[in-house]
Amino acid sequence: MKSLELLVEKIILSSRWILVVFYLGLVAALAVYALSFALKFWKVAQGVFTLGESEMILAMLGLIDAALVASLIVMVMISGYENFVSRFDETEADVSFLGKLDAGSLKIKVASSIVAISSIHLLQIFLNAAQYDDRHLMWYTIIHIAFVVSAVMLGWLERIMAKTKAEKHEE
């Protein structure tokens, strides 16, 4: 019976390597998104002398939004791989720029990135407010507030958990 238990545990533990497929898919998605970014940038560069100030601001916000989304993808790929699959070999890969993210810290960083992306999207909407009716503007704002509240709550819960963990270690 013990050998069956060990086999099941080995299979479950090894199944984490299936996640690699998802992370490689994110690498491919990032490459496709980089092409999309290059196309957006090219359109902005072509219109540098013809776009008005508000159109240029909207275009720049679009590029910033794309950079934030790409950074979010990288953060999820690297942290997720390190947390759930395998540690990077320190001699070959320096990922110290991310710090050591546990699952809780990763959730907070992802939530913060989503709030930043949502903020930029909402700013783009407000700069084009004439194209939206009041009902849509209200819902976009409510959705953004929901993201903000969720991020604050995640941070608050993580702080409580860290405090509880620290108190247990002191005992």
Confidence of residue 154 (pLDDT cuts 50, 70, 90): confident
How far CA 131 is from CA of 55, 60, 119, 126, 128, in Å, comes to 14, 19, 18, 9, 6
Q: Which pTM does this prediction carry?
A: 0.73
| Residue 99: pLDDT over 60 | no
Task: Provide the pLDDT for residue 23.
Answer: 95
| Residue 72: pLDDT over 60 | yes
Task: Provide the pLDDT for residue 76.
Answer: 86
Residues 119-129 have a mean pLDDT of 89
89: amino acid identity, one letter: D
Residues 64-90 have a mean pLDDT of 86
Instruction: Tell me the average pLDDT of the chain.
Output: 87
